[in-house]
Chain A
Amino acid sequence: MPKITVDGQTIECKDKQMIIQACADAGIEVPHYCYHPGLSIVASCRICLAEVEGVPKLVPTCQTPVRDGMVVHLNSTKSIANQKQVMEYLLVNHPLDCPVCDQAGECNLQDYSYQFGRSESRFEEAKQKKPKKDVGLHVLLYNDRCIMCTRCVRFTREVAGTSELFVDGRGSKEEIEIFPGKPLNNKLSGNVVDLCPVGALLDKDFLFKQRVWFLKSAPSISPADAGGENIWVHHNEGVVYRLKPRYNEQLNKWWISDDTRYSHKVVNDPKRLYGAMRTQYGSQVESNYDDAIQQADTDLKRIHKENGDASLCAVLSPMMASEEAYLLGKYIRSIDPAALLVIGPVPMAAEDEVFRHYVSGQETFRIQAEKVPNKNGVTRVIDLLGGAKQTWDEFSQQHPTKLKAAWVVGGYLSHWTGLDAPAPLKKLYKVVQDILPSHLTHHADILLPSATWVEKDGSWENYQNMSQAFVAAFPPRDGAMREGNVYAKLLGRRTYDVAHVRQEMGEPFTSIKVPTISEADEPAMEFVEI
């Protein structure tokens, strides 16, 4: 393992690692724009240059591999002079419209300008004006803010493999462009917004919605498919403003699909269900949430008493957390030991969407065809509980005639039942937990509005059988309740404690790691000495 010295600090590096990456691993920030660990190296922004002893020129740290005994100076006069100069150059044609720029607050041009730049520009001439462009379904391009790091161009080539973006023109007139009639509409397009170190590429969905310094973040998992992409939920005051990728070496790396990125819409959907309902004399009336839960409990127990064993079933949605599925299974079996456990419908796309490198053809990203996050987890829970079980298809075609009542959980990101309530459920007594109105919720005997994944704790098991925990960003609004809390109440427990439930469930659930909010993502305010 080579060792190098950076500004007097000796750090250990991996073989053939670039200096910048070795520094990053050791917690030393080298300013950089064009470098991104997930993309090829172009070394064109030139701000990462540093002085290396024994080399007469400044060397690009993003492109120079470490050598044992190398002595790097990031703070030498020459290095600092270059950092200051590059910062000044980058701001020459930058409009400095930070007050109206969405990136302000998380902009590397701002950060590095404070840290490495000079306080004022000596540029007195007229700035170049470049147009704004609508480059795709989700992405806007403000060309005048662009610093030509070409991360986005490399991303569309090397990760998405679709090559929509390219550099047009030459010199200071060059711009990022799309080909006529070929917009940036691939399923990974949102990532170029994350990649952009400045405010040139912006998300239309987030545009002018919120200043980033108001946002709080919570680590979470993608609900859009079985891939288990790791995300940050950026929210403020009970509103989710955007989802950002959270680095995971094994799964999504630095990227997420657009399905994931815009899956937060359901959280603040104006149509969301709030307030429990129960059916009285053939029509639904509003009810106190606790009363509705009590009523459901009483009714189910009565039905079981009247009809004997195997008259109850529970439809466990693959959108549920494994822990909640476990509790619901426990509850329904506590009334009816022979209750049927059904795994809810699993929407599938025709096939996985695979993205490949534009030259090598190597697979870079895969969007799973299975559009629910936790089919594997719920299946595992049903197996854990044992007893009668069915898949949705089996249940739809042929279900026990003795069934009289069902506890149905939805929670899908869109209206899942279609126009009509699912056939097998039609004649049953139904307790329904869901987040969006549907034909099923209209005909529910008891309707218990539930929480979306950002409002609760739990874990999901992805297609590779990797269980990952997600953390509640904020509690659900009044009139909705986490499924887990409902079951805890019904089972006579004081609270829904995820860790406790995992202990109860045993392996592999006990070994799930709960992500914590890292300091990097929630910078503390510090006094600035000038």
Chain B
Amino acid sequence: MAFTEPVLTKRIPLDASQRKLIGYDDYVATGGYKSLKQALEMPPADIIKTVTDSGLRGRGGAGFSAGQKWSFIPKEKKGPHYLCVNADESEPGTFKDRYLIDHDPHLLLEGIAIACLATQCDIAYIFIRGEYHYSAKVLEHALKEAYAHGIFGGDGVLGSGKKVECYVHRGAGAYICGEETGLLEALEGKRGWPRNKPPFPAIAGAFARPTVINNVETLMCVPHILERGPAWFKTMGTPSSPGPKLFGMSGHVNNPGVYEDELGITLDYAINKLAGGMKGGAYKASVCGGISMGILGTNQLDIKLDFDDVRFRGGCLGLGTAGMIVMNEHTDMVKALRNCVRFYAHESCGQCTPCREGSNWMRKILDRILDGDGKAADLQMLMELEKTMGIMPGTTICGLADGTAWATRTFINKFYDEFALRCPEAPTKTIPLKVSSGRLNVLTPMGSNTR
């Protein structure tokens, strides 16, 4: 455990007044594109092995091993491979990718070039969120510089003959396009509706070709891993979640912003040391990584912020993107949940029945509770609805319905009293899921639906 100096933010000073956009020249002067040269001399399998050895886990939310993801791409190439960079950062409370792109775009481009070499991708698409106007401009400018200096296009990466093209694709502003297959659909020009898996993107992704999809921060870790080796990377973080991580601190803290530290710091440390302590009252709750992951309760300040502890001890879905929305003691948790669920109801893509109808139903129940018409049955209803949606019970195509479910579940479980107060006669804590198994004995003619 030794996080001594900033890694991803090494070119971005903490003092906001001294920050500036790092251009190509500044980037190279501070050791940029060194790892790319190194990568060019390595066979692709070695690059993948190095990244796998480092234990780098995807920073987009799921925490899946990046090296393993790359190794799923077929080794034999029968056509183009694609790399999609997921910069559609729409998770509430998350703004780390924007911070990185706005200041150090070339680090991303170097990561892209290395990833393309490792997985033999020919074309990289940076799918950037539609609302990130400035970031898209920054990326476009950086891309121009990179093309001019032979990183992309031309005679291949730095004249090596391995040609990689890179494009910036701007989304049109939908949460669902941050889901990887939704992103692919949107990239292909279709409605951003997530795809059924299998086939997984590594086999048939963008344009039905093998595709790697990585988060911005994940790719930015790659040049550092190549430069300093997996062993160095593992000195930071915990054994199962090594490496540095950006923590997006927002909400009731004194100094909101993006802070870099290693994985496995405690929530207490993140709030009090990184973000300068609570503002306006004592700590009550914190979203642990975008609201889809759920919420950490009042007594969970000692939770270690890595991919596993948040899940196993924290009772959340995972660390997610580590975008913390910290709430002080004056926060109304029912209102906060209503706000979350309103977001999910608005952003549900409408493909699967449970998410489309369920999220909006939950929003209406919460609206009613806030209007003062809450009933005991409402809480039970919320808890039952929440259990029926998501990829974890298997009732939806993508994982974004789980977000609604986990937000609701953790809010109600951890702040049950507040909800019970608004719903008179709510029973004491345990709420079992009722399932009756009786079925009416009515025969529908066979095939009547397909005529």
Contact = CB atoms under 8 A, between A and B. Distances in A.
Contacts of A63: 196
A43 B348 CA distance: 16
Given A41-B196, A519-B445, A171 B450 contact: no
A85 B353 CA distance: 10
A172 B392 contact: no
Range of interface residues on chain A?
A: 35 or more
Contacts of A84: 435-436
Interface in B353-380: 353-354, 356-361, 364-365, 367-368, 377
Contact of A126 (B352, B354, B364, B448): B364
Interface in B176-203: 176, 191, 196
A167 B353 contact: no
A171 B396 contact: no
A54 to B, nearest CB: 13
Interface of B: 174, 176, 191, 196, 345-354, 356-361, 364-365, 367-368, 377, 381, 388, 391-397, 433, 435-437, 439-451
A36 B364 CA distance: 33
A167 B350 contact: yes
A206 interface: no
Interface stretch (A335-343, A450-458, A521-529): A521-529
Given A29-B444, A111-B444, A528-B440, A44 B451 contact: no
Contact of B361 (A27, A29, A125, A528): A125
A172 B450 contact: no
Nearest 10 CB-CB pairs, A to B?
A: A57-B394, A125-B364, A58-B394, A171-B348, A89-B357, A172-B360, A174-B350, A111-B444, A81-B435, A114-B442
Contacts of A42: 196, 351
Interface in A165-207: 166-167, 169-174, 194, 197
Given A89-B358, A528-B440, A82 B445 contact: no
Contacts of B345: 171-172
A86 interface: yes
Nearest to B441: A529
Nearest to A37: B450
Contacts of B350: 148, 167, 169-174
A170 B442 contact: no
A214 interface: no
A85 B191 contact: no
A43 B347 contact: no
A170 B451 contact: no
A172 B356 contact: yes
B357 A32 contact: no
**A122, A128, A245, A521 — which one has the most chain B CB atoms within 10 A of its CB?**
A122
A59 B359 CA distance: 21
A528 B439 CA distance: 12
B448 A111 contact: yes
Given A59-B394, A89-B358, A90-B357, A171 B349 contact: yes
A46 B436 CA distance: 19
Contacts of B445: 519-521, 523
A416 interface: no
B354 A60 contact: no
Contacts of A82: 388, 393, 395
Given A57-B394, A194-B451, A89 B439 contact: no
A194 B449 CA distance: 9
Given A80-B435, A254-B451, A49 B394 contact: yes
A112 interface: yes
A522 B351 CA distance: 34
A46 B352 contact: yes
B438 to A, nearest CB: 9
Interface in A26-54: 27, 29, 32-33, 36-38, 41-47, 49
Nearest to A125: B364
30 contacts: A24-B447, A29-B446, A33-B449, A43-B397, A46-B352, A60-B196, A75-B439, A77-B435, A77-B437, A85-B354, A86-B353, A89-B357, A92-B357, A92-B360, A108-B444, A111-B442, A111-B444, A111-B448, A112-B444, A114-B444, A115-B439, A122-B377, A170-B346, A171-B347, A171-B356, A172-B350, A172-B360, A245-B451, A254-B450, A530-B441
A147 to B, nearest CB: 7
A148 B397 CA distance: 15
Contacts of B451: 194, 244-245, 247, 254
Contacts of B435: 77, 80-81, 84
Contact of A116 (B174, B356, B396, B439): B439
Contacts of B443: 115, 523, 526
Interface string A104-134: 0010100110111000001111101000000
B440 A115 contact: yes
A80 to B, nearest CB: 6
Interface string A397-418: 0000000000000000000000
Interface string A493-530: 00000000000000000000000000111010010111
B333 to A, nearest CB: 21
B449 to A, nearest CB: 5
A115 B444 CA distance: 8
Given A172-B345, A520-B447, A528 B442 contact: yes
B449 A170 contact: no
Contacts of A33: 449
Contacts of A41: 196
A379 interface: no
Given A81-B435, A125-B365, A126-B364, A46 B396 contact: yes
Nearest to A51: B394
Nearest to A108: B449
